[in-house]
Amino acid sequence: MIGNLETFQDELAASGFPPLVNKLAGADFRGRIVTSDLGPLRLFSLDTPESACIGRERDAADGENLAVKVMARGRTRIEQGRGDAELGPADLVLLDPTRTLRFESTAAAHVTVLVPRRELRIRPAQIDRLIGERIDGSHGPGALVSVLARESARAAAEFREAEALRSAAAFIELIAVALEARLGDRQPAPDERLRDRITGYIEVRLADPDLSPPGIAAAHHISVRRLHKLFEDQPLTVAALIRRRRLERCRAELTGSGRTVTAVAARWGFPDPTHFSKIFKTTYGYSPRALMTSNRARTTRTRTAGPAQDGAHQDSR
Give mean pLDDT in consecutive 10-residue pieces for the chain, a chain of 317 residues. 80 76 78 91 92 76 82 95 90 91 93 89 80 93 94 88 88 91 69 86 89 95 94 86 91 81 93 93 88 67 48 40
CATH class of 191-299: mainly alpha
Q: What is the pLDDT of residue 79?
A: 93
Query: Do 5-182 and 191-299 agree at the fold level?
Result: no
| pTM to 2 decimal places | 0.59
The CA-based diameter of the chain, rounded to the nearest angstrom, is 73
CB 63 within 8 Å of CB 110: no
Give phi and psi for 236, each to the nearest 5: -130, 145
User: Helical H runs in the chain?
Assistant: 5-14, 117-120, 124-130, 140-155, 161-182, 190-204, 213-219, 224-230, 238-256, 261-267, 273-284, 288-315
Domain boundaries, the chain: 5-182, 191-299
CA 22 to chain centre: 26
Distance between CA atoms of residues 56 and 44, nearest Å? 20
Q: In one letter, which amino acid is 125?
A: A
Enumerate residues 6+ apart whose C-beta is below 8 A from 43: 35, 36, 37, 111, 112, 113, 114, 149, 152, 153, 156
- Superfamily of domain covering 5-182: Jelly Rolls (2.60.120.10)
Strand 101-105 relative to strand 76-80, pairing: antiparallel
CB 55 within 8 Å of CB 20: yes
Strand-by-strand arrangement of the 21-22 sheet: 21-22, 51-55, 101-105, 76-80, 83-87
Distance between CA atoms of residues 143 and 178, nearest Å? 9
Q: What is the pLDDT of residue 301?
A: 52
Residues facing residue 124 across a β-bridge: none
* Residue 31: C-alpha distances to residues 6, 103, 274 (Å): 11, 17, 47
CB 69 within 8 Å of CB 112: yes
